[in-house]
Amino acid sequence: MTAATREILVVGSGLGGLTAAIRADALGHRVTLVTKGPLDESNSRYAQGGIAAAVFADDTVDLHASDTLLAGAGLSVLDAVRALCEDGPLRIHDLVRWGVVFDDATDGSGWARGLEAAHSRARVLHAGGDATGRAIVLALIETLRESGVRIVEHAFVTDLVMTRSGERRVAGVELLVDGGRQILRADAVVLATGGAGQLYEFTTNPAGATGDGLAAAWRAGAVVDDLEFYQFHPTALAAKGSFLVSEAVRGEGAVLLDAGGRRFLAGVDRRAELAPRDIVARGIADQMKRQAGLPVMLDATGIGRETLLRRFPTITRATTAIGLDWTVDPIPVTPAAHYFMGGVTTDLHGRTSLPGLYAVGEVASTGVHGANRLASNSLLEAAVFGWRAVQAIGADASPAGLSGDVEAPDRVVGDGPVILRSDLQHVMWNDVGVERTGEGLLRAAGVLGDAGGPDDDTVEALETANLLDVARLVVRGALARQESRGAHFRSDFPKTEDDFARALAWAREVPEHAHR
Ligand SMILES: Cc1cc2nc3c(=O)[nH]c(=O)nc-3n(C[C@H](O)[C@H](O)[C@H](O)COP(=O)(O)OP(=O)(O)OC[C@H]3O[C@@H](n4cnc5c(N)ncnc54)[C@H](O)[C@@H]3O)c2cc1C
């Protein structure tokens, strides 16, 4: 190994992890990528609408940045937003170099461009119609397989491991693989473990989105922030599995109707169906309350059958599978937990507060999204910061990654009965969901604070324990933020307050050399 070559361990095979691994390999680092499922399973894979970047002639980095800042409701970090928007076009071209084929416009003018809520320009690139994530992930997996990256699938990271002596730093991970525990050492660990939609009863996220990386980083003592900000997607199919009906459908002209068949959002916000997600989600939740919990209807029939089938084949398949024909009739929709703005606090290059640990993509809190994410910025964030983290690793010192003793942090378990995952999800949905109150949050804090995590050594039990750690943090942040801002709405504090125009950050006090 040359002096600048590092042993890098990437955790996760979504866009953040794939970008970091491919880039690190290209720079000559020795890279291992571990992921808990098959390589092609991640939130990234299910992304529909697309990836935003200022790549068209009538668009600029400044416009993209100002839309992102507006959505962030005063909490986005300006430098992080600039990094995202400035690097964006470069990373789009990398994706193309790595084999991604974006859809072309039907008029032959170049790439097709989608318009999504709160974007002032049509700047969203898509692939495979509404299968953008799948197209990106599959292309990058092919590139990864041709690289020198060592791939370990079905390996569940249970915890980070820390050095026992000298500077306290992350020196690898502990894995549950083939039914046993193993420690994998590295100079640098890149967490790219995605979000935690499984905190909630209704979510667009796949089963694996259980906040494992965030919980592990928290246990190890990393600073985390913005955890009260969970974005609820306004329109998931009101049917088992909460399948996402992309924002892009409203971008193409679909409208939302109440139980009487009337549009209701114009009375909530002048941008109506294209208002930011939190406003649309709350508008729908309120309307559902007014109509005894009945879902509202999304009417996409005006878009036309031919466009719906070509542009949204995945949604067409999902609706057809449950006996709906959205080319002819409106379909029932409800809000669902979608994207975690908060996460492990990082700088502009994915560095966390723990030396040796980098975080990218949804598990990270880069400051890009602030209190609310602009649609289609998360795939871009994963690509931009996955790339940037590798730059940082090359530049940073790595004194003790591969030698010396290591240990995993201890776990905190409540004294109460073990909580079932479904009960946790129910509490989070009812009391820590789209609309919150101090009373509901205290109720949730009581239930979750006492709960014991399951102590089986199975992936499912460990995931539920991680969800419990993360849920407690979300409640803590939501209780502390006595205002409403972006995706965090408290009906007992409905106004945005200047005093809270800052991120709320937390770190666990880790006793010196705490053992499990
Ligand atoms: C239905 C849906 C539609 C979306 N549409 C869009 C869109 O159109 N545009 C957009 O920008 N964003 C969209 N998003 C959000 C976006 O997909 C994600 O925010 C983004 O892909 C996150 O990428 P990531 O690499 O950070 O994490 P992920 O893609 O979630 O990858 C996380 C990886 O970590 C692995 N992992 C997790 N825990 C462990 C563990 N303990 N051990 C080992 N491996 C682990 C997982 O298996 C997975 O491979 C959508 C999300 C969903 C769910």
- pLDDT tens for each residue of 23-79: 999 999 999 999 999 999 999 999 988 999 999 999 999 999 999 999 999 999 999
pLDDT for position 20: 98
For the stretch 446-472, pLDDT in tens is: 999 989 877 788 999 999 999 999 999
Look up 282 and say whether it is catalytic. no
Single out the residue of 218, 194, 225 nearest to residue 469, CA to CA.
218
pLDDT for position 205: 96
Residue 29 near residue 393 (C-beta atoms within 8 A): yes
Question: Among 35-39, 284-288, 364-368, which stretch is predicted with the lowest mean pLDDT?
Answer: 284-288
Span 88-104, average pLDDT: 98
Q: How confident is the model at residue 1 (pLDDT cuts 50, 70, 90)?
A: very low
425: tokens are 């999800």
Distance (Å, whole) CA 450 – CA 210: 20
Q: CA angle, 364 as apex, 249 and 454 as ends, to 5°?
A: 95
Question: Among 141-145, 396-400, 443-447, 453-457, which stretch is predicted with the lowest mean pLDDT?
Answer: 396-400
Span 275-289, average pLDDT: 89
* Mean pLDDT comparison of 279-283, 478-482, 505-509, highest-scoring range: 478-482
CB-ligand 1 contact for 88 (6 Å cutoff)? no
CB-ligand 1 contact for 41 (6 Å cutoff)? yes
Beta bridge partners of 11: 34, 191
CB-ligand 1 contact for 208 (6 Å cutoff)? yes
pLDDT of 117 > 70? The answer is: yes
pLDDT for position 516: 35
In the three-class reduction of DSSP (H, G, I as helix; E, B as strand; rest coil), residue 86 is classed as helix
Is pLDDT larger for residue 404 or for residue 34?
34
Separation of CA 207 and ligand 1 centre (Å): 11
Give exposure, 80-89, as e/b (b: 16+ Cβ within 10 Å): bbbbbbebbb
> Which DSSP letter does residue 414 get?
-
Q: How confident is the model at residue 366 (pLDDT cuts 50, 70, 90)?
A: very high
What phi and psi values does residue 393 have, to the nearest 5 degrees?
-60, -40
pLDDT of 229 > 60? The answer is: yes
Q: How confident is the model at residue 220 (pLDDT cuts 50, 70, 90)?
A: very high
Distance (Å, whole) CA 178 – CA 329: 48
Separation of CA 340 and ligand 1 centre (Å): 10
CB-ligand 1 contact for 381 (6 Å cutoff)? no
pLDDT for position 512: 53
Residues 6+ apart with CB under 8 A from 285: 335, 434, 435
pLDDT for position 515: 38
pLDDT for position 514: 45
Q: CA angle, 469 as apex, 464 and 470 as ends, to 5°?
A: 95
pLDDT for position 409: 87
Going from the C-alpha of 317 to that of each of 237, 245, 249, 312, 373, the distances in angstroms are: 12, 12, 15, 9, 27
Span 307-318, average pLDDT: 94
pLDDT of 3 > 60? The answer is: no
Name which residue sits closest to atom 4 of ligand 1, judged by CA. Answer: 47
Separation of CA 101 and ligand 1 centre (Å): 20
CB-ligand 1 contact for 365 (6 Å cutoff)? no
pLDDT for position 511: 57
For the stretch 180-206, pLDDT in tens is: 999 999 999 999 999 999 999 889 999
Mean residue pLDDT of the chain comes to 94
Beta bridge partners of 298: 256, 331
Is pLDDT larger for residue 286 or for residue 297?
297
**Which among 277, 388, 421, 436 is annotated as catalytic?**
277
Q: CA angle, 214 as apex, 210 and 220 as ends, to 5°?
A: 130
pLDDT for position 90: 98
Span 436-454, average pLDDT: 93
CB-ligand 1 contact for 205 (6 Å cutoff)? yes
First to last CA, the chain: 34
Length of the chain: 516
pLDDT for position 227: 98
For the stretch 502-515, pLDDT in tens is: 999 999 976 554 43
pLDDT for position 264: 96
Separation of CA 13 and ligand 1 centre (Å): 8
